[in-house]
Amino acid sequence: MNENPPQPDANQRMKSYLGKIATGPRMSKDLTRAEAEDALAMVLNGEVSTERAAVFLIAARMKLETVEENTGYWQALDKTTVKQEVKLEKLVQVAEAFDGFERTPVFTFYTIPLLAEMGLPAYGHSALPLPPKFGITFEDLLINHYGVSTHQTFEQRKTLIEQFGFGYLGIEQSHPKLDALKSLRKEIVKRPMLATMEKMLMPLIAKTNFLATNYFHPGYEEAMLAVAGLGRWEITVVGNGMEGSILYGVHKTAKLFIHLKKVGVQEKKLDCGRELDAATAQQVQEAFQALKKLPASRDTMAELGEQALKGKGGPAAPLIAWQAATLGYLFGRFPDVQTGFDAAHTHLSSGTVHEKLMSYLDGCK
């Protein structure tokens, strides 16, 4: 007698899951965490047709995912992520919206080497532009502006991060199975749950790890915080930064959710007007207002970002300093944001951060 009957094949299981989540707003049912993990694993592993994969991704988002479902989706992504340890005591992972920026120039690409100079090694995790915005990302700047090879391996990118204390990693290196879905994601147009959970992957592991990321629509932070509790980050910051960035507390007061591994979740409001002295806060706000008048193009971001890193000021410099200061404060490097801002300003004024960024880029080519 067979005590372990064969399990339904992938197509049968996916048909069952679609029967639960794709029956309209009143009749749809939630998946269990295990079912959600299994469903997305089949999509990632190419076990179901492209058409069925697309229907699943659309239906899951239209139903609105539960925290349990999103946790299952993350587990499927996490188990298929390329992971390696890095020879660093601390590492800040920065994960902004993978579909990029198109409204106002964002300079986090240039904040990352500054963080390293301030004693917080950091890297940006992203992808080449994805739908619906197809905006500017770390990988977009790296490859399409600076001409870095698209054939770099995970090992090469990791080695550069260990060497310089900062760098960038794309899902082409960290998650080839997720990267393989980019054509499908273009066809389904709207953001699937992947857009939330891909920010919560952890390809590089140092002795102590931090994550800075964002949420846009209220409610999505709940699933991200649940996942943070399963990950290996000592501190995870999830905040409503400008246009999906980690520029917290400039365009409006930011609401941050901070997951501390040994404590749990704390909430904090962050506003440059309250964290900085009046003159510095005015400098940050004036810079932000000036940037709102400029195009969010690669050339604009690179020109103004490099100007700031060379110590020549410009409207990007106060925002880069603010970003570095807030992360330095939130991750325990500085006792307050003002101290961090002053330190960031000093490092920017020296011009050495630009030299190190150029050396890193040379190492990538």
- What one-character-per-residue DSSP string does 140-162 give? HIIIIIT---TT--HHHHHHHHH
How many angstroms separate the CA atoms of 289 and 133, rounded? 22
Query: What is the structure's pLDDT at 5?
Result: 64
Q: Could you give the 3-state DSSP secondary structure of residue 229? A: coil
* Residue 228 and residue 151 share a domain: yes
Sign of torsion over alpha carbons 302, 308, 312, 313? positive
User: How many separate domains does the chain show?
Assistant: 2
* Residue 208 and residue 133 share a domain: yes
* Rg of the chain (C-alpha set): 21
Looking at the DSSP assignment, which residues form a beta bridge with residue 210?
A: 92, 235
Count how many Cα atoms sit within 13 Å of the Cα of residue 321 in the half-sphere of its side chain: 30
* Residue 46 and residue 113 share a domain: no
Residue finishing a domain among 28, 50, 79: 79
pLDDT at residue 99 is higher than 90: yes
**C-alpha angle 161-165-170 in degrees, rounded to nearest 5:** 35
**CATH number of the domain where residue 38 is located:** 1.20.970.10
* Residue 56 and residue 192 share a domain: no
Q: Of 79, 16, 99, 6, nearest to 52 (Cα)? A: 16
**pLDDT-wise least confident of 214-218, 247-251, 314-318:** 214-218
15 contacts: CB under 8 Å, gap ≥ 6: none
Rounded (10°) CA dihedral 175, 181, 186, 188:
-130
16 contacts: CB under 8 Å, gap ≥ 6: 8
CB 200 within 8 A of CB 227: yes
Residue finishing a domain among 64, 79, 94: 79
Query: What is the structure's pLDDT at 54?
Result: 96
51 contacts: CB under 8 Å, gap ≥ 6: none
**Token output for 69:** 């479902």
| 326 CB-contact burial (10 Å; exposed 0-12 / middle 13-18 / buried 19+) | buried
Within-domain flag for 2: no
* Residue 94 and residue 71 share a domain: no
Within-domain flag for 1: no
* Residue 125 and residue 174 share a domain: yes
Within-domain flag for 154: yes
Q: Could you tell me the residue range of the domain that residue 42 belongs to?
A: 10-79
pLDDT at residue 6 is higher than 80: no
CB 200 within 8 A of CB 81: no
Identity at 209, one-letter amino acid code: N
How many angstroms separate the CA atoms of 162 and 309, rounded? 21
Average pLDDT, the chain: 96
Q: What is the DSSP letter of 198?
A: G
**Token output for 4:** 């372990």
Query: What is the structure's pLDDT at 1?
Result: 45
Within-domain flag for 25: yes
Per-residue model confidence as pLDDT tens digits over 268-278: 999 999 999 99
* Residue 108 and residue 49 share a domain: no
Range 75-96 average pLDDT: 98
Q: Of 196, 199, 229, 234, nearest to 213 (Cα)? A: 199
Q: Could you give the 3-state DSSP secondary structure of residue 293? A: coil
| 51 CB-contact burial (10 Å; exposed 0-12 / middle 13-18 / buried 19+) | exposed
Query: What is the structure's pLDDT at 8?
Result: 87
Beta strand pairing call for 235-239 and 254-260? antiparallel
pLDDT at residue 262 is higher than 90: no
How many angstroms separate the CA atoms of 108 and 124, rounded? 8
* Residue 237 and residue 326 share a domain: yes
Share of the chain above pLDDT 90, in %: 94
Q: Record the pTM.
A: 0.95
Query: What is the structure's pLDDT at 365?
Result: 84
Within-domain flag for 220: yes
* Residue 347 and residue 219 share a domain: yes
Q: What is the DSSP letter of 225?
A: H
* Residue 134 and residue 20 share a domain: no
* Residue 240 and residue 103 share a domain: yes
Residue finishing a domain among 45, 79, 113: 79
Within-domain flag for 325: yes
**CATH number of the domain where residue 155 is located:** 3.40.1030.10
